Amino acid sequence: MFRYTQAIVRKPGKNFADGITDSVLEKPVFEKALKQHIAYCETLKYCGLELTILEADESYPDGCFVEDTAVVTEKVAIITNPGAETRRGEVKKIAETLSKFKKTEFISLDGYVEGGDVMNVGNHYYIGVSNRTNEKGGRQLSEILTNYGYSTSFIPVNTILHLKTGITHIGQNNFIATGAFADSFKQFNVIQTDQDEVYTANSLRINDFLLIPKGYPKTKNQVIKLGYQIIEIEMSEFRKMNGGLTCLSLLF
């Protein structure tokens, strides 16, 4: 499995709670979010990554969710054009930062893509077509990826925010998924979340470790049986803003 060495993260701003969410949970507490973000960053370092930590930009309350601003592969970094209009300005700083590490390509303005809708499995990329990633953007992304030797396919995302809200690849052809996506990946080994643990569908494999949100014992026990080294991360404040473990970093 490919080993990551770098990560880009961005600190949450004091107006973090003003971001986009359809959660029915109470508003996040900034001080708790900041503490959880620091712990997340320390975990990335423990997993062997060197971090580029960007300062918060309060022009963009959702800016800590850097995953949506780029799709980073071994060969190229593709700067996205987020479907949420209030987030489109986030990509400028990310593009500047990624260009120091990678060749960059761009999704043009007539298409929308958010990185949370893009899941890679080896050299194949699944592209979710959602309210945030439209068909034009998906086709642009597919064309760029194909030009660099990757294959792609499309998956409709109708009832949740992003593809990776409902399914993540945790390595070795194992997945964690909600029921809505489990059937689409029957050719693989899928851990299907219970209804009260759907938040764990967004988990994050980094090198020798699997990061899962803290407080979900049923999914945790299923993953342990597969032999993963698990690190539990408290994500309560980011969950309130529709954010998960993959959302907070760009890995390469």
Nearest one of 145, 107, 142, 144 to 128, comparing CA atoms? 142
CA distance 230 to 227: 9
Residue identified by tokens 């990509």 is 91
CB-based contacts of 185-190 (< 8 A; 24+ apart in sequence): 189/226
DSSP string, 105-131: EE--TTS-B-GGGEEEETTEEEEEESS
Mark out the alpha helices in 47-174 (DSSP H runs): 91-98, 135-147, 163-166
CB neighbour class for 185 (10 Å; exposed up to 12, middle 13-18, buried from 19): middle
Catalytic residue among 37, 41, 162, 169: 162
Relative to beta strand 167-169, strand 204-206 is unpaired
Q: Which of 41, 47, 64, 247 is catalytic?
A: 247
Q: Judging by beta carbons within 10 Å of its beta carbon (0-12, 13-18, 19+), is residue 167 exposed, middle or buried? A: buried
Annotated catalytic residue 162: yes
Query: How distant, in Å, are the alpha carbons of 22, 87, 98, 110, 192 from that of 199?
Result: 14, 23, 29, 32, 11
Catalytic annotation on 169? no
Residue 153 · residue 235 · CB < 8 Å: no
Q: How many CB atoms lie within 10 A of CB 79?
A: 21
Catalytic residues: 162, 247
